[in-house]
Structure 1
Amino acid sequence: MKKFGLGVAALMLAAQPFVAGLAMAQAAPAGDAPAAAGAVAADDANKEICKGEKPTGTRLAKKKVCRTKAEWDEFYRLQRAETEQMQRNDMAIKTPKG
């Protein structure tokens, strides 16, 4: 129990700079923030990100796939939607009828 208390205390001390930074960011004036945020968001959406994908059935081969951040976001959104659809269909089949 003593180790747990020491761990919690260490975590609280380590988190203080992060919490202080959040408080300062929230207190900062927001005069130019919306215009700057829009420019940064547009740059982030067009930033190209490359990832290595492993084909099914092999441990060695790795294919490099490059897409923009917006394309990766859409790719993951579609994957999530397909997974949810499969899970819904699976639950519909397993639902007892009576």
Structure 2
Amino acid sequence: MTDYESDPPPFDLNEVLELWADLVADDADPSSFPEPVYTLQERAALLDVHQAWLQFCEATPTFITDDLAARALPEWGVLLACTRTARATLESRGRLPED
């Protein structure tokens, strides 16, 4: 979601929002991203993404029919900024071992 080469992006915005909803409860709190799985910085970044996601969802209809209009909202810009920060934070650690 942080970067895409085409406009419109090659995904359905509703599907992206639903994917996050499948992974993170609406009432997410720090315990949703526990240590040692996540560092304090990663937890904070993911909680920022979640808050921005909630605000974006609040600003859009339940089912988005106009992705372009939804992506023009200021809440979308905030969500993108938060996802970029979270991505950079998570990438700084690198991949976790598969064991």
**TM-score normalized by the length of structure 2:** 0.27
Highest Rg: 1 or 2? 1
User: Taking CA–CA contacts closer than 8 Å with sequence separation of 6 or more, which of the two structures ends up with the larger relative contact order?
Assistant: 2
TM-score normalized with structure 1 length: 0.27
Question: Relative to total residues, which structure has the larger helix share, 1 or 2?
Answer: 1
